[in-house]
Every structure is written in C-alpha cells, then in structure tokens.
Amino acid sequence: MARHKGRARHVRLVAVALGVTVLAAATSMWTAQADSTTGGPQARVSAPDARMTKVSAEIAHASDRGARGVNITIDDGPDPTWTPQVLQLLKDSGVKATFCMVGTQAQAYPDLVKRVVADGHRLCDHTVSHDTTMDKKSEAYQSQQILDAERMITKASGGVRPQYYRAPGGAFTPYSRQLAASRGMRPLGWNVDTKDFEHPGVDVIVATVKSEISSGPTVLFHDAGGDRSQTLAALREVLPWLKEQGYAFGFPVR
C-alpha cells in the first residue's frame, strides 16, 4: 500500500512539472512571435485585450446618427494654442467631435488630451509622427507607429483608449487596418476634406463643406500644424449652417 501511495505522489509531481514546462514554452513562443511581428519587446503589450470591442477593419465613413448625421473630425493635435479654442467653440455650439491625435503631441500635452475626453469627445490614433508615406514602409514600422501612438494617447488621457485609427494622408494598408481593428480601433476615413491646412481662405473652407457634405458625413479639419484661425472661423459658420440643414452631430460608426 505504501509503495502505491508513493507511486501516485510521484505521478502527480511529474504531471505538475510537465504542465509548468508547457506553459513556459507557450509563453516564450508567444513573446518571440510578438517581437518578430511588431519589431521588438513593445509588442508584448499589443496582444488583443479581451475587454476591447471588436470592430471591423473596413474604413469607416458613416455616422452613428444615420443618414442625416455629421461627424466632425479634428486632426494632428493637440496644440496648446488652437486646441483650447476649438474645444471652446465646440462646447459653445453643443457639438461633439473626434480628435485624431499624433502620439508625440498627446505625450507633450496630456492636460489637453484629458480635456478632450472630459468634454465628451472621442479619441483617434493618428500615429506617432504623422508619416504620410506609411503605406510604403515595412509592417514593423507601421506597427510601431500605430501601437506606440495608442500607448502615448492612452497614457496621456489617463487610461481612455482611442476608438479609431486614421492613417496620415489616408495611407492605409490592409495590414495597418487589421492591426488597428485588433486593438479595437476602427479605421477612419473622411468624405469632406476641407484642406484647411493649406489656408485656402474661410470662404473656400465653408463652401467646400456646403458643396460636399452630400457626398458623406465625415468632415476633416485640423487643430495643429500651423495657424488655424481660418479653421476656427470656418467652424463658426459651418456648425450652425449644418444644424439649419437638419443635420445631427455624431461619431463615426464603429
């Protein structure tokens, strides 16, 4: 009887040891795969989180407010001069927007990121360095740009994650769209490009919105990258005009 008990105890110990060995091997394999696909140890934080909302990898344009919805999107910030003015204008107008933030800007101005969130707006990952040639770069580079920006924005916001990913200049790739979607960030396009970054004049920006809004609901503005006084002036005209036309302001679909 004592020999049988000894054998049983030995079998249990062997089974436990084997289980620990298998778990360690699996963990090592996952880490190696992550490092090889995203370019380094940073990939260890990029595994899909079970709490993330599953989203489509298709580029979103539609509004969650339906056919008469409009999505105001603001790119390239936050900026210490222009973002506070944009936020005040949006608050005065009762409009919510989606802010597509550059990672280094979010890292530099975390209080503005927190203010964007506190005002009820949504966050969007616009990469670390706004490289408009991303679609010509390696997958490792695309991964670094997207995942590091996600980390920077989330940290700056106090833990609120971006819900969208917008490629700089629309430089999406199938890989970048799938990667963003796996992190719960819906790829985000636009329908109306105001080209406000070119400083075409307030009247031109306003006319662009009025003539192109029938093409789709997502409108592109900027709150950084230079003088945005024309953007502010155009928004003061465009927002009430859109309301008068029966549009409702919403967020891009996810």
pLDDT value of residue 229? 98
Yes or no: say if 154 and 162 are a contact pair by the CB < 8 Å rule.
yes
Burial class (CB in 10 A: 0-12, 13-18, 19+), 249: buried
Q: How would residue 52 be classed by pLDDT, with cut points 50, 70 and 90? A: confident
Q: Say yes or no to pLDDT of 189 above 50.
A: yes
Predicted confidence (pLDDT) at residue 2 exceeds the cutoff of 80: no
Spatial distance between the Cα atoms of 90 and 235, rounded to a whole number of angstroms: 9
To the query of whether residue 64 is one of the catalytic residues in this protein, the response is no
Of all residues in the chain, the percent with pLDDT exceeding 90 is 79
Sort strands 69-75 and 218-222 into parallel, antiparallel or unpaired: parallel
Q: What are 194-221's pLDDT values in tens digits?
A: 999 999 999 999 999 999 999 999 999 9
User: Can 75 be counted among the known catalytic residues?
Assistant: yes
**pLDDT value of position 51:** 59
pTM for the whole structure? 0.81
| CATH 3.20.20.370 placement within the chain | 66-250
**For residue 225, with 0-12 CB atoms within 10 Å meaning exposed, 13-18 middle and 19 or more buried, which class applies?**
middle
Assigned token pair, 210: 């009025």
Q: Hey, what are 119's tokens? A: 């005002």
Asked whether residue 145 carries a pLDDT value surpassing 60, the answer given is yes
What residue type is 79 in one-letter code? D
Q: For residues 111-131, b (16+ Cβ closer than 10 Å) or e, as one string?
A: ebbebbbeeebbbbbbbbebb
Whole-number pLDDT of residue 53:
84
236 alpha-carbon distance from chain centroid = 26
**Residue 103 and residue 74 in contact, taking contact as beta carbons nearer than 8 Å:** no
The residue annotated as part of the active site, out of 75, 125, 148, 196, is 75
* Lowest-pLDDT choice from 37-41, 111-115, 127-131, 208-212: 37-41
So what's the pLDDT on residue 49?
52
Per the prediction, the chain carries an average pLDDT of 86
- Of these residues, 121, 126, 222, 223, which one is catalytic? 222
State whether CATH 3.20.20.370 applies to domain 66-250. yes
